[in-house]
């Protein structure tokens, strides 16, 4: 790591969070590692999941699933999103389960040789994203897949408001249960719960829960450990005089002589321009981001005693990620998924750095 801008990922906290949620739910865990494990590194997080005995990992696309296999992950693997039926041979060859979500998709799928294709049926219950909406079509699709030799191992839905609307969640579950009962099939995997519902929603039908953001400690219905923190470093400190402006568009004017520091992080790293005016944490003090955030650099108004080389916390133990998300009118998911690959990932285990990963440095062994 040559640039001191990094996302610190505490693997012990992730293990703790998984075990805490499972202790409440007491069901099989499906670890949702979409979008490169929410930007935290699918390879590294999957290794923790395997250590913890997780049987299945879920991803969003065939690209992500193949990447998991290339990483060496050998356990159960489910694609939650769309896969073009023309790629069914790749699914079978790599032992990847996929989602059947509509009658038209099934009609195209059975045109392929889909014997031994592992299928999870997605039921639409109120999210209105993907999923079977008609019980008659669901039954016809089930029959077609069975006749084609597919292995129909799972059935699931997705709650839209698990954290905010109990009545809607109960209604969704009722619709899901009706679809499940209409098929009279013994499913290996029956799952409705996301991270929040894994703790707050109880039922006797499902046997697995999908845990995503909860792995990183960002849900408020159970005591978890935040696993992520984002840092940069002041590399330059200078004085800006009264009435001078800072940044593109000259949007900030110094009302007096001030010290300003620059850190090597910008919107190309996922630190978006909406963070202008928010605080970062440096040497025990909150310091304001001044001027427009640049592609690669950000300026900060400093107390006079802060020096070059000081560590800057963007979110972490002093600035909770949830607070940052609230300030930006978004959710923790979005913030961490926006952190780009040029930000180094630093993995912590037993209070020690065990690995530093940066895609830009994959070929660094060629540089001396």
Residue from 265, 325, 28, 262 nearest 156 by CA: 28
Q: Domain 11-216 classified CATH 3.20.20.10?
A: yes
pLDDT, residue 304, reads 84
| pLDDT one-digit tens code per residue, 252-286 | 999 999 999 999 999 999 999 999 999 999 999 99
φ/ψ of residue 286, rounded to 5: -85, 130
Q: Of 3.30.420.10, 3.60.150.10, 2.40.37.10, 3.90.550.10, which CATH number belongs to 228-361?
A: 2.40.37.10
Structure tokens belonging to residue 318: 């002093």
Contact 67, 94 (CB under 8 A): no
Q: Which residues are catalytic?
A: 34, 248
- The structure tokens listed for 2 are 């040559």
284: left (phi over 0), alpha (psi -120 to 50) or beta: left
348's tokens: 């912590």
Helix ranges (H only) for 134-191 are 135-147, 166-183
Residue 365 is predicted with a pLDDT of: 45
Give pLDDT < 50 ranges for the chain: 364-368
Task: Take residue 40 and report the two structure tokens written for it.
Answer: 């935290």
Q: What is the pLDDT of residue 367?
A: 43
Contact 121, 158 (CB under 8 A): no
Find, among 184, 146, 191, 180, the residue nearest to 56 by Cα.
191
Tokens representing 94? 């790599």
Count of residues making up the chain: 368
Closest by CA position to 109, among listed 134, 91, 136, 94? 91
Question: What is 269-332 written as a DSSP string?
Answer: GT--GGGTT-EEEETTEEEEB-S---SS-EEEEE-TT--TT-EEEEESSSS-HHHHHHHTTS-H
Q: What is the pLDDT of residue 314?
A: 98
Q: How far apart are CA 362 and CA 358, in angstroms?
A: 7
Q: How high is the pLDDT of residue 123?
A: 98
DSSP assignment of 194-248: -HHHHHH---SS--EEEESGGGGT--SSS-----EEEEEE--EEEEE-TT-EESG
CATH 3.20.20.10 placement within the chain:
11-216
Within the chain, all domains assigned CATH 2.40.37.10 are found at: 228-361
- The pLDDT of residue 320 is 98
Looking up tokens 């530093």, which residue turns up?
A: 356
What lies within 8 Å, CB to CB, of 223 at 6+ separation is 20
Q: What is the pLDDT of residue 361?
A: 84
């Amino acid at each position: 790591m040559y640039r001191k801008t990094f996302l610190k990922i505490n693997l012990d906290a992730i293990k703790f969070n998984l075990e805490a949620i499972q202790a409440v739910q007491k069901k099989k865990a499906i670890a949702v590692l979409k979008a490169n494990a929410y930007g935290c590194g699918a390879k590294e997080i999957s290794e923790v999941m395997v250590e913890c005995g997780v049987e299945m990992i879920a991803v969003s696309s065939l690209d992500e699933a193949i990447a998991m296999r290339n990483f060496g992950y050998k356990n159960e693997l489910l694609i939650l999103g769309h896969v073009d039926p023309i790629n069914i041979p790749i699914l079978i060859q790599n032992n990847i389960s996929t989602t059947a979500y509509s009658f038209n998709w099934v009609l195209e799928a059975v045109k392929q040789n889909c014997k031994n294709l592992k299928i999870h049926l997605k039921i639409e219950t109120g999210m209105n994203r993907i999923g079977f909406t008609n019980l008659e079509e669901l039954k016809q699709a089930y029959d077609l897949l069975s006749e084609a030799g597919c292995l129909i191992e799972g059935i699931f839905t997705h709650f839209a408001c698990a954290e905010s609307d109990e009545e809607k969640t109960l209604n969704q579950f009722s619709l899901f249960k009706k679809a499940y009962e209409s098929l009279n099939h013994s499913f290996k995997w029956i799952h409705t719960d996301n991270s929040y519902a894994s703790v707050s929603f109880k039922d006797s039908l499902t046997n697995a829960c999908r845990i995503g953001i909860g792995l990183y400690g960002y849900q408020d219905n159970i005591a978890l450990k935040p696993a992520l923190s984002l840092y940069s470093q002041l590399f330059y400190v200078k004085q800006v005089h009264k009435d001078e402006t800072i940044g593109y568009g000259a949007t900030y004017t110094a009302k007096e002589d001030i010290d300003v520091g620059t850190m090597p992080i910008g919107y190309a790293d996922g630190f978006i321009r909406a963070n202008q005016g928010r605080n970062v944490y440096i040497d025990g003090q909150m310091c304001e981001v001044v001027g427009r955030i640049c592609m690669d650099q950000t300026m900060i108004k400093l107390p006079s005693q802060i020096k070059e080389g000081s560590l800057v916390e963007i979110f972490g133990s002093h600035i909770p990620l949830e607070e940052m998300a609230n300030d930006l009118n978004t959710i923790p998911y979005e913030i961490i998924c926006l952190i780009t690959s040029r930000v180094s990932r630093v993995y912590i285990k037993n209070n020690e750095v065990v690995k530093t990963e940066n895609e830009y440095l994959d070929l660094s062994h060629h540089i001396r």
